[in-house]
Structure 1
Amino acid sequence: MNYVSAENLTKSYGIKVLFKDISFHINEGDKIAIVAKNGSGKSTLLKILMGKEIADSGTVVINKDIQVVLFDQEIDYNPELTIDEFMMTLDSEPILALKNYHKSLHSTDDAFIEKALNDMEAHKAWDLENEMKQILSQLKITDLDAKMGTLSGGQVKRVALAKLLTETRAEHKHTLLIMDEPTNHLDVEMVEWLENYLTKAKITLLLVTHDRYFLDSVCDIIWEMEDQNLYLHNGSYATYLENKMIREDNMSATIDKANNLYRKELEWMRRQPKARTTKSKSRIDAFYETEKVAKTDTSKQALELDFEMKRLGNKILELKNIDKSFGDKLLLKDFSYQFQRGEKVGIVGKNGAGKSTLLNIIQGYEKFDKGDIETGETISFGYFSQKGLKYKEDERVIDFIKEIAEFYPLANGKSLSASQFLRLFLFDDQTQYSPISKLSGGEKRRLHLMYILYQNPNFLIFDEPTNDLDLPTLTVLENFLQQFQGSLIIVSHDRYFMDRIVDHILAFEGNGKIRDFTGNFSEYREAKSREDAMEKNTAPKPEPVKEIIATPEVPPVSSKKRKMTFKEQRELETIEKEMPELEQQRSKIMGQLNNETDYEKVAKLSAELETVSEKLEEYEMRWLELQEI
């Protein structure tokens, strides 16, 4: 069943063309991810599909039998409503049936009660309330009487996400679900739950996300928006990268041919007389088309720079026996850590566990209850927080950066101008001379990030840097951080980003406990999963309560374990033989991942690692079961 058909869509804002003559179709069951640089028109395209924006030209036909539901970055809500009341504002027949049923419980009107029961049956609403509460619980929203106005921005987004998923579940007609960065403000457990939910759900999905593991798990079609065009890719993120590379290679070959032709035609243009025949007019038109292709800029700034970082002394940063609580909530307990030169540390844990508090303590923004901190004299912090960028409304991008310095120093004695550094972070010349107020939300995040890096700190602290960043910018940032020789702390829920950058994990595991783990994020998660599984299987089972009554004496049941069957014995032997091989295979893949920077190979190795880890975990669980026999 076709949901949406778009033909030759064009949209501009002033002189800036977002996309031109793009066409696409969305069919039932499609799960599509949109990949593009911020400012390319992703959000505008979503608004056109929602009917909130109108294209300059072209047509969009939406099947009359479907509903289009949007999960947007901006959440509209009444702050006086409780969470429960906000959830019940859903405009759907099953929700209305549920509300009327609750009213009927306090009614004496037999006709109203009968109709309410019939509507509950007709709209299959009996299980809807339980499912709604389960979704809220999974997203860590438990106090349904709390007012929306008292919630944090992240909590509001999670409640809105729960409402949207409930709405999709409640409506039994065909639904196109559009989601713009749904994983922002979700911790890893919530992201993995949402990932699993969307993967299994029989829905049609159009998704904008920067989370590459999430994208690969949920979607099987990628739309790439670039240079005013829309390119369609069937398959994984790695397939998209491969196709993109092939397209760019082909484009480079086309430009080379056009350049050769352009040089010849330029000589003819210079020689030709002013009187122009029809034939020469045709050739002149062709010349200008050739010139356009020949002057196409396909250069992708590779970040291979030798940075002149501010000198780091022998003493970097040392935390000694730090305690921190807020009321009865213990965040840090006797925490000590000594940061090393060039160390890249990832901080992970559930929302509210104290990650941002630790960052503030390190920089002196937050007082601690007990302990001591020693900071090296040469340390210059660069802090990227979630508060956003402060700027003057009419200030231009280039002027904002030049306020720091005209040039960025390189170790070879050379330097980059502010404009060149902006281009490295995907700000073209036109955007550089635009007011900051005209930038998209994602472009402002990118400028904020660049503003921090341009100050040339030697100790970077990033608090959720990947939120609202597009994938091209993430690639640039990852390349920069991999070459960065100073110390680095990152708080992030982006699993792919963390796996590429960090080599050490500080995990907030609750009640002030911070675990020090050497390795990347996926390795930590695997180790934690194995430990949790072992703990679950070895936990003592509660003794049954004995009822003291007079009963006839019964011969005791033998507690002797049954013997393994021949099949189980063979299975155990096979598992014990293959487990070391799988562990060796996993270690080999991890080693390759740590030294690999090619996205296609990284994606392929990550998929292999996931398969091997799942198989190993399955074997470990089965081995424990057989050992108990």
Structure 2
Amino acid sequence: MTFCFLPFLTSSRLLTPSPYLCGMNLLSAENLSKNYADRWLFRDLNFGLLQGQRVAFVGINGTGKTTLMRILAGLEQPDTGLVSTRKGIRVTYLGQQPVFDESLTVEETIFASQNDTLRAIKEYEHVVNDPDHKSDDLQRVLERMDALNAWDYEAQVQQILSRLGILGELLNRNISMLSGGQRKRVALARVLIEEPDVLLLDEPTNHLDLATIEWLENRLSSPNLTLLMVTHDRYFLDSVANEIVELDQGQMYRYQGNYAYFVEKKADREMRQATEVEKARQLFKKELDWMRRMPQARGTKQKARIDAFYITKEKASTNLSKQQVELSVKTTRQGGKIIEASHLNKSFGDNVVLDDFSYVFKKKDRIGLVGPNGAGKSTLLNMLTGKLQPDSGTIEVGQTTVFGYYTQTELEFDPSQRVIDIVKEVAEVVELANGDVLTASQFLSLFLFPPAQQYTLVTKLSGGEKRRLQLLRVLIKNPNFLILDEPTNDLDLGTLNILEDFLLHFGGCLLIVSHDRYFLDQLAEHLFVLEPGGAVLNFPGNYTDYREYLAERETEAALEAAEKEAKAARAAAKAVATAPAPAPVVAPAPPAAPKRKATFAEKKEYDTLEKEIGQLEIRKEELIDKLNSGTGSHQELADWAAELKRTETALDDKGMRWLELADFV
């Protein structure tokens, strides 16, 4: 029996003791090295991917994850090394920024494969969607579908297109007319429909809504699928990957387990590595003294000791310093009035995206904005920040409210601009939370842009580094109302953890749009759920709570439907049984309906209402005391009176809702 090299190696040592059969190895790479912008991303890496492996690449931005993926896909050449695939294996790559033939339509792009079955499906779809098709054409494509036994495949194609929202008029649209999110979905549809032997996916969840991500998660979890992906989505990573491979300082480290296991074992590895390096440094000092005495390497033992000295020197010089982003900025003081949105309406043609939305934002609100793509999330954000006007309704922004708006739009810059120029456009100095004042250059260093990189062109930054620079530009304004539209796209896991910690302690308001369920669960305390027709559900809880609430509703609906069917069946059986009887049969009184139990979400809402009512009662008393004190200017008295009226209205509304819930909690 013959064996090949292990699927994951570092440049110096194996990371797993068990061999793998060569016959299972679909893709392999030997001694890969890549230098970019006068810096080695990695050197002498060896890598292999076996059938059925679903591997997630992780590592900080700029370590070369995307570059390595492109090399494995054959789209970029390494400086040294070789990539090979098993004979007959098809490898398909989905990049962060898909590249298309801009002259083709969406349909032509999706079905561009040379696969005979796909060509037959494309022709069939074209004929049946043509209202003027000829009967002979229809007969011909039907026979072709039968001959290739393509009907099951066609059903899968339809499911993929439907789930990704690529239907109807969009199929005939030219690629050049698509938005960034649409382009990503078209590219994803193409790679899924082609059914390659190996899938290489770089941030596949970017630009997808939550429901689509959950569908994709289930589809990619197949035990027969072989894939390698880069993703920051921790729930997606846990559900899809069966192995995690970390790229750290040009080395690869393999972990068999989920994200929590990876975090634990990575910490153990770094602790062991620190111990080994410290021992090597102590030994190096001792051996250095011996070397300085200029030993003659005539004997075998002396020569071996000199060789060992240089190995120890290399180990002792290992750099264990871990750079990480430092998020610490001053928050502008926030007044009593933040934002009051009243009866907002917005439509685009016949499409109603917002119907009578009202909300008064409160201090330290932490809100997640949820809804399918196209539901109007970005529209609502743009209205709140004044970039877009509602068709009707009013938005009043407090005088002390300072927005920090992190958008999905990529960082805009002139090709000649350098990193530091981007920051100086906003501010020359920055005040931190502790009162320190930093220059733009010093602040860039906190965001892992060292002085040498600050004067490089922005075009040379990776996608994640550009997003980090964009986040820096938002925070440099010292906002007290942060609006984050898909902030997790392209950020590495380490930066995400730091961003989460910063936002958990952020003193202002937070409004988040994100497809990252883990991120939402960590930060959002309640949700605005955009529903069809422009309605907005104000849901108390995070995204997992909302999914449980939906599951409960589905279960209740199924039980109600089953009960109706059972009741109808009993009534029919009873009618048949009593039909011959000469005398009418008096039906017994139906049993009393059982008392409805509160759902999880309703229990949570009930508890929340109790706290909010108590806080409102306290505030009401404070306002009454202020008004009765006889102090305060004319403007202050007017503001207190207006706030008292709003507080009493809120108390009435929340009190009524509390009474409704109290009946079945």
TM-score normalized by the length of structure 1: 0.78
Answering whether residue 172 of structure 2 is matched by residue 146 of structure 1, we say yes
Provide the C-alpha distance between the structure 2 equivalents of 1:555 and 1:375, rounded to a whole number of angstroms. Answer: 70
Match of 1:49 in 2: 72
Task: Provide closer, same or farther for how the CA distance between residues 80 and 51 of structure 1 changes in structure 2, counting only shifts above 3 A.
Answer: closer
Provide the C-alpha distance between the structure 1 equivalents of 2:342 and 2:135, rounded to a whole number of angstroms. Answer: 64
Match of 2:112 in 1: 89
Answering whether residue 321 of structure 2 is matched by residue 331 of structure 1, we say no
Provide the C-alpha distance between the structure 1 equivalents of 2:229 and 2:510, rounded to a whole number of angstroms. Answer: 31
Provide the C-alpha distance between the structure 1 equivalents of 2:244 and 2:274, rounded to a whole number of angstroms. Answer: 23
Provide the C-alpha distance between the structure 2 equivalents of 1:447 and 1:303, rounded to a whole number of angstroms. Answer: 11
Task: Provide closer, same or farther for how the CA distance between residues 79 and 24 of structure 1 changes in structure 2, counting only shifts above 3 A.
Answer: closer
Pairwise CA distance, 1:438: 0.7
Match of 2:98 in 1: 75
Task: Provide closer, same or farther for how the CA distance between residues 411 and 58 of structure 1 changes in structure 2, counting only shifts above 3 A.
Answer: closer
Pairwise CA distance, 1:472: 2.1
Task: Tell me the alpha carbon deviations over residues 254-278 of structure 1, each in whole angstroms, 9 at most, x when there is no partner.
Answer: 3333444556667788xx58x7855
CA contact (8 A) 2:527 2:538 kept: yes
Aligned length: 551
SS of aligned partner of 2:90: strand
Provide the C-alpha distance between the structure 1 equivalents of 2:337 and 2:88, rounded to a whole number of angstroms. Answer: 66
Pairwise CA distance, 1:432: 3.2
Task: Tell me the alpha carbon deviations over residues 99-149 of structure 1, each in whole angstroms, 9 at most, x when there is no partner.
Answer: 67789996989xx969x95x7566432332232122111112221553134
Task: Provide closer, same or farther for how the CA distance between residues 278 and 190 of structure 1 changes in structure 2, counting only shifts above 3 A.
Answer: same
Match of 1:504 in 2: 526
Pairwise CA distance, 1:197: 1.1
Task: Provide closer, same or farther for how the CA distance between residues 100 and 379 of structure 1 changes in structure 2, counting only shifts above 3 A.
Answer: closer
Provide the C-alpha distance between the structure 2 equivalents of 1:100 and 1:247, rounded to a whole number of angstroms. Answer: 55
Q: Which amino acid aligns with 2:510?
A: L
Question: Percent identity between the aligned chains?
Answer: 46
CA contact (8 A) 2:199 2:226 kept: yes
Task: Provide closer, same or farther for how the CA distance between residues 265 and 480 of structure 1 changes in structure 2, counting only shifts above 3 A.
Answer: farther
Q: Which amino acid aligns with 1:395?
A: Q
Pairwise CA distance, 1:40: 1.5
Provide the C-alpha distance between the structure 1 equivalents of 2:205 and 2:579, rounded to a whole number of angstroms. Answer: 56
CA contact (8 A) 1:90 1:167 kept: yes
Match of 2:29 in 1: 6
Q: Which amino acid aligns with 1:29?
A: G
Stretches of structure 1 that go unaligned for 5 or more consecutive residues are: 544-552, 562-575, 588-629
Task: Provide closer, same or farther for how the CA distance between residues 506 and 210 of structure 1 changes in structure 2, counting only shifts above 3 A.
Answer: same
Pairwise CA distance, 1:337: 1.1
Alignment of structure 1 residues 91-110 onto 2, 5 Å = 91-98=114-121
Answering whether residue 214 of structure 2 is matched by residue 205 of structure 1, we say no
Task: Tell me the alpha carbon deviations over residues 192-251 of structure 1, each in whole angstroms, 9 at most, x when there is no partner.
Answer: 111111113622111111111111111101111110111111111111111111111112
Task: Provide closer, same or farther for how the CA distance between residues 51 and 340 of structure 1 changes in structure 2, counting only shifts above 3 A.
Answer: same
CA contact (8 A) 1:301 1:424 kept: no
CA contact (8 A) 1:404 1:455 kept: yes
Task: Provide closer, same or farther for how the CA distance between residues 327 and 416 of structure 1 changes in structure 2, counting only shifts above 3 A.
Answer: same
Provide the C-alpha distance between the structure 2 equivalents of 1:397 and 1:494, rounded to a whole number of angstroms. Answer: 28
SS of aligned partner of 1:45: helix
SS of aligned partner of 2:435: coil
Pairwise CA distance, 1:331: 1.6
Provide the C-alpha distance between the structure 1 equivalents of 2:63 and 2:587, rounded to a whole number of angstroms. Answer: 69
Alignment of structure 1 residues 393-408 onto 2, 5 Å = 393-405=415-427, 407-408=429-430
Aligned residue among 490, 507, 514 for 1:485: 507
Provide the C-alpha distance between the structure 2 equivalents of 1:256 and 1:349, rounded to a whole number of angstroms. Answer: 52
* C-alpha RMSD of matched pairs (Å): 3.8
Provide the C-alpha distance between the structure 2 equivalents of 1:514 and 1:103, rounded to a whole number of angstroms. Answer: 41
Answering whether residue 371 of structure 2 is matched by residue 371 of structure 1, we say no
Pairwise CA distance, 1:395: 3.0
Task: Tell me the alpha carbon deviations over residues 67-121 of structure 1, each in whole angstroms, 9 at most, x when there is no partner.
Answer: 1111222333344544333333222122234467789996989xx969x95x756
Alignment of structure 1 residues 515-526 onto 2, 5 Å = 515-526=537-548
Task: Tell me the alpha carbon deviations over residues 569-592 of structure 1, each in whole angstroms, 9 at most, x when there is no partner.
Answer: xxxxxxx9xx99x989x99xxxxx
Q: From the CA coordinates, give the structure whose radius of gyration is larger.
A: 2
Provide the C-alpha distance between the structure 1 equivalents of 2:328 and 2:484, rounded to a whole number of angstroms. Answer: 22
Task: Tell me the alpha carbon deviations over residues 487-517 of structure 1, each in whole angstroms, 9 at most, x when there is no partner.
Answer: 1111111101111122121111221211112
CA contact (8 A) 2:447 2:468 kept: yes
Pairwise CA distance, 1:354: 1.0
CA contact (8 A) 2:424 2:440 kept: yes
Pairwise CA distance, 1:301: 5.2
Provide the C-alpha distance between the structure 2 equivalents of 1:151 and 1:533, rounded to a whole number of angstroms. Answer: 38
Pairwise CA distance, 1:375: 1.2
Q: Which amino acid aligns with 1:147?
A: R
Provide the C-alpha distance between the structure 1 equivalents of 2:338 and 2:547, rounded to a whole number of angstroms. Answer: 28
Stretches of structure 2 that go unaligned for 5 or more consecutive residues are: 1-23, 567-575, 589-595, 605-665
SS of aligned partner of 2:346: strand
SS of aligned partner of 1:393: coil
Alignment of structure 1 residues 381-400 onto 2, 5 Å = 381-400=403-422
